[in-house]
Amino acid sequence: MAGPLVGYRVLDLSRILAGPWLGQLLSDLGAEVWKIERPGTGDDTRQWGPPFLKDGDSNDTTESAYFLSANRGKHSICVDIATEEGSEIVRSLAQQADIVIENYKVGDMRRYGLDYESLRKLKQDIIYCSITGYGQTGPMKDVAGYDMAIQATGGLMSITGESDDKPGGGPQKVGVPIVDILTGMYSATGVLSALLHRERTGEGQHIDMALLDVQVSVLANQNMNYLTTGRPPKRYGNAHPNIVPYQVFKTKDGSFVLAVGNDQQFRKFCATAGFAELAADTRFATNTDRLHNRDQLIPLLDVHLAKQTTHHWVSLLEPVGVPCAPINTLDQVFAHPQVIHRELQINLPHPSGAITPLVGNPIKFSKTKIEYSKSPPLRGEDTEQVLKTVLKFDQAKIQRLSDRRIVDTGTHPQHSKSGLPE
């Protein structure tokens, strides 16, 4: 059975990551996604390299790894929306779409007649998702939002990183643009919910997504740690503010994660790891006790756990149900038997002739299985096909638009990594 969104069409006017992540997710679920890009350069992330995809001779292509991460399955259509003819093409595509995604600054789409109110007049049931840094309203609505700035503004960096009194202490960003990614995922929930609403009522609607809103929302227990006490949480590095022991420990040959989540697990840990006396120590009997006496417990564990290898501790503790794990590098991750079994790496032929290694969607349906039929596109590779099949343009009209650089059909000379003609 085909993906659950087969038959739906998405007009994706977004670039960089949050919007493209949403578009890729909808594409994975079966929707046809038309990615609108700028003629000549395309999505900014096409130039965000190295690294770039390698061809069969191990030479760099023009496709950055960053772009490949968020644009699987899409159709690239290059149209200059700053021109009246270009914006009219996109409005025509919107009338054939179910969902529109955009992440321009507040008010920019109105200049081109591509805002929600304009498109709703053309297609009343359109679902229109706007993604910005700070939202469509409020004192910061006109401020550009970037993931790291949002991590800072929204509090994530204040609780991420080693504490100030330790070597290397200070605020840290997360190792991936997590706010962009989570915003794309929350946006998918919003879009799918709006589709369900439309199925019931026939009504479309505008979805206002803000990176800051998402960032604040996902601080979860740390939010509540503050709201219930009035005290801003501090940074604990790799330790946990509410659970002990729940952190990274050094071993004889590296380090590993020990994640003891309850008192029974702590007793199992003590019995298995040679800490029988700690299980009987009233200072450490409950998680609350261990939290209050963290500074006494952790040094004892540090000394003992450093005497054996990571493999020793993981192979000892994992079978008895004590949560723990080695800290894998990405080469180890993709060689891991469980990752291989779950088919998290996929390979798709790329139109450049290369084979694109990609990461599969983690959703596993029992019926509507996800199928990967299209690699991330070359810039403008689908312009001609979509204009012909969807808007019924003839070849002469497409050629005139291409000659005037209103559209980019992908037949131009190959461009270098800078986006400029070689």
CA distances (Å), 254 to each of 48, 257, 308, 310, 326, in order?
Answer: 33, 11, 10, 6, 9
Tokens of 412: 């131009």
Residue 164 designated active-site: no
CA angle, residues 82, 86, 88, in degrees to nearest 5: 110
Q: For residue 356, what is the DSSP state?
A: E
Taking phi over 0 as left and psi of -120 to 50 as alpha, with beta for the rest, 326 belongs to: beta
Select which of 12, 115, 147, 180 is catalytic: 180
Q: In one letter, which amino acid is 287?
A: N
Residue 387 contacts residue 393 (beta carbons within 8 Å): yes
Other CB atoms within 10 Å distance of the CB of residue 150 = 27
Indicate the burial class of 124 (C-beta count within 10 angstroms; 0-12, 13-18, 19 or more). Answer: exposed
SS3 325: strand
SS3 295: helix
Q: In one letter, which amino acid is 99?
A: I
Residue 319 contacts residue 268 (beta carbons within 8 Å): no
What distance in Å separates the CA atoms of residue 404 and residue 395, rounded to the nearest whole number? 14
**Nearest CA among 205, 226, 203, 50 for reference residue 116:** 205
**Nearest CA among 297, 303, 318, 291 for reference residue 250:** 303
φ and ψ at residue 154, rounded to 5 degrees: -85, 5
Q: In one letter, which amino acid is 308?
A: Q
Residue with tokens 């009504």: 203
**Nearest CA among 209, 215, 208 for reference residue 148:** 215
Q: Strands, E, within 262-394: which ranges?
A: 324-326, 345-349, 355-359
Q: In one letter, which amino acid is 49?
A: G
What distance in Å separates the CA atoms of residue 310 and residue 32, rounded to the nearest whole number? 46
Residue 81 contacts residue 113 (beta carbons within 8 Å): no
What distance in Å separates the CA atoms of residue 175 and residue 396, rounded to the nearest whole number? 48
Q: Which residues are catalytic?
A: 180
